[in-house]
Chain A
Amino acid sequence: MPEACIYIARSSAIAARALAGEMMVMNSADSTFFTLNPVATAIFQAADGRTPLRDIVRDRVCEQFDVDPEQAQADAEQFVSELSSHGILLVSSQPLAPETP
């Protein structure tokens, strides 16, 4: 059975900026504040709504960080699920148009 394709895009409700290699992210709707480690930052920055998550993990995570691909995919899915529950990332099985304020 083919693996389901997941597309991710950053919500337009968030503010984000890199500080010393880590991404600060805040959701203006509820002021939840996160800092993302370098791996999560790479996924977040690549969340353009058009690139499937598995390609992001392959090209932006496994290429740049010394991680096991299967573990990286599982961790990425967990990370995406968590950020999506806070309204930071939008997740879809179809490509997403990037949100703009």
Chain B
Amino acid sequence: MSLMTEVGQKAFDLGVPLAVHMDVTYRCNERCVHCYLDHDDHGEMTTAEIKDVLDQLAEAGVFFITFSGGEVLMRRDFFEIVEYARRLMFNVKIKTNAVMIHEEEARRIRELGVDTIQISVYSHRPEVHDAITKLPHSFERTVKAIRFLREQGLRVTIANVLMTVNSSDHSGVQELAAELGVQYTLDPTITPMMDGDMSVLSLRIPGEELREIFRNPALVGNEEEFCAPPKPPSEEDLEGYSCSAGHSFCYISPYGDVFPCVQFPLPTGNIRQQKFLDIWNFSPQMNEVRSIQAKNLTVCSSCSHVSSCTRCPGLAYMEGSMRGPSTADCEKSFYRTGVPTANMLRQGLSKPRTMAINTAPLIQIRPIAVPA
């Protein structure tokens, strides 16, 4: 077990929020076709409010903080926020589209001791990337920014969200990443929009293409190991939890709402009304999330994939129950191994339905009304 894994497990066992993802704004200069956010400002936290939250997070034991959005640089005070976070000795990661990063911004990011910058690149073909972001010349600007960041010696990761419109471009983006000297990560997850609109799910790549991706050693490493049939779950597996959401990780929106994860829109409290630690320690919703072990899952506890599935409780929640299955992850487990999931079998399916558009209720990440 690596030292980092050991520390992560310790935080998980102690219920310490080791890592927090904070969206500082939902405003954005791009309009990506798959984005789940509403880009209007419904009352973002002020600079002073964010600094106060950072003080509270440091006191609560948070070590890793990821600033994301929207586009983080839409906030004029963004560098002031990062500087404050670094003075509090957080390990800071930034997620950005990078189109507003030039030499000066890259230098400032290096001076501030930012750990990693994750940048979305959808294709190696400018016309495809720009068609997804709906911002002309965004590919050119993003790639230029990556070069500025690399010149400063910063660690950059290209995040390549795969969907129908760019599903054949992953190898091109991987080559681009290699040429730029940056890391590459692929994500085939498309999330319902925050206003409950499910239409973006039609962008999810079809299962057959998912199967090909899972059998590409350049993307998954050891294909045989990655695609191996699931092992029967042990008792320990059934005592386990889905992920770190609510255990050692949480998400804070630009409006101060606290959720178990960025992909888990269960409101647990608002930092403008309560102290962070009160929400973290005493929110009934947070404690409910924490209480769910694999053996408590309504369908998945009897699934052969239970010990190896990437089941996301947030996506399951958006489908209607945080204890239920997440259809998108059922698909991944099936196309990875060829073994049907319990969720498919109970529906009499030998393979997933063509499109994984479910009948999820309209659960949304919205600002919670805060009295004036």
Could you tell me if B61 and A13 are in contact, using CB atoms closer than 8 angstroms?
Answer: no
A35 at interface by CB-CB < 8 Å: yes
B16 at interface by CB-CB < 8 Å: yes
Could you tell me if B91 and A101 are in contact, using CB atoms closer than 8 angstroms?
Answer: no
Least CB distance, B149 to chain A, in whole angstroms: 13
Could you tell me if A24 and B62 are in contact, using CB atoms closer than 8 angstroms?
Answer: no
Question: With A and B bound together, what is the CA distance between A57 and B94 in angstroms?
Answer: 38
Residues of A within 8 A of B155 (CB): 31
Among A24, A26, A34, point to the contact of B115 (Cβ < 8 A): A26
Could you tell me if A17 and B83 are in contact, using CB atoms closer than 8 angstroms?
Answer: no
Residues of B within 8 A of A65 (CB): none
Residues of B within 8 A of A14 (CB): 89, 113
Question: With A and B bound together, what is the CA distance between A15 and B91 in angstroms?
Answer: 5
Least CB distance, B356 to chain A, in whole angstroms: 36
B3 at interface by CB-CB < 8 Å: yes
Q: Is the interface of A mostly helix, strand, loop or mixed?
A: strand
Among A15, A29, A100, point to the contact of B90 (Cβ < 8 A): A15
Question: With A and B bound together, what is the CA distance between A101 and B16 in angstroms?
Answer: 26
CB within 8 Å for A101 and B61 given contacts A15-B91, A20-B10 = no
Residues of A within 8 A of B11 (CB): 19
Among A13, A20, A24, A34, point to the contact of B63 (Cβ < 8 A): A24
Residues of B within 8 A of A35 (CB): 3, 7
Question: With A and B bound together, what is the CA distance between A15 and B63 in angstroms?
Answer: 8
Total interface residues in chain B, CB < 8 Å: 26
Could you tell me if B87 and A101 are in contact, using CB atoms closer than 8 angstroms?
Answer: yes
B58 at interface by CB-CB < 8 Å: yes
Residues of B within 8 A of A18 (CB): 61
Binary per-residue interface labels of chain A (25-42) against chain B in the complex, 1 for a CB within 8 Å, 0 otherwise: 010110101110000000
CB within 8 Å for A17 and B62 given contacts A24-B7, A26-B91 = yes
Could you tell me if A15 and B10 are in contact, using CB atoms closer than 8 angstroms?
Answer: no
CB within 8 Å for A33 and B4 given contacts A17-B89, A101-B111 = yes
Residues of B within 8 A of A13 (CB): 113
B73 at interface by CB-CB < 8 Å: no
Could you tell me if B10 and A100 are in contact, using CB atoms closer than 8 angstroms?
Answer: no
A12 at interface by CB-CB < 8 Å: yes
Please name 5 further chain A to chain B contacts, defined as beta carbons within 8 Å, in addition to the given A17-B58, A18-B61, sorted by A numbering: A15-B89, A17-B63, A19-B7, A20-B16, A28-B115
